[in-house]
Amino acid sequence: MNRKELIKQVGNERIQILFNAAEKRTEIGDAALAKGYIKRLRKISTHYKIKLSKEMKNRICKKCNALLIPGKNCSIKIVSAHRYVSYECNDCKNQIHIFY
Ligand SMILES: [Zn+2]
């Protein structure tokens, strides 16, 4: 494994760890700390040019870095006319549209 691959692998691991930690924090209602984790996760992602998985991306509020958990800190609306699901962040009211 070369250096570049190693950096990517370590970065990916750290992203996964931060994502899981943010998820746990959100679940117990510690939004501020969860946002801190997501902020770091995004920094690692841009710094090392590591793409976040679609699943991750779709669950992170781009505006306030909240990790969105339906029924906890975001509300879901299905807009069938336009074939997308709308996730609205309860914190900053930013919406994420996921097309299906
Ligand atoms: Zn938000």
pLDDT digits (tens, 9 = 90+) for 30-57: 999 999 999 999 999 999 999 999 999 9
38 alpha carbon to ligand 1 midpoint, in Å?
12
pTM: 0.90
C-beta of residue 82 within 8 angstroms of C-beta of residue 93: no
C-beta of residue 22 within 8 angstroms of C-beta of residue 34: yes
pLDDT confidence bin for 1, thresholds 50/70/90: confident
The pLDDT score that the predictor gives to residue 18 is 98
The pLDDT score that the predictor gives to residue 3 is 93
100 alpha carbon to ligand 1 midpoint, in Å?
22
Mean pLDDT over each residue of the chain, to the nearest integer:
96
Let me know if 28 is exposed, middle or buried by CB neighbors in 10 A (0-12, 13-18, 19+): exposed
pLDDT confidence bin for 88, thresholds 50/70/90: very high
Measure the CA–CA gap between 31 and 38, rounded to whole angstroms.
Answer: 10
31 alpha carbon to ligand 1 midpoint, in Å?
11
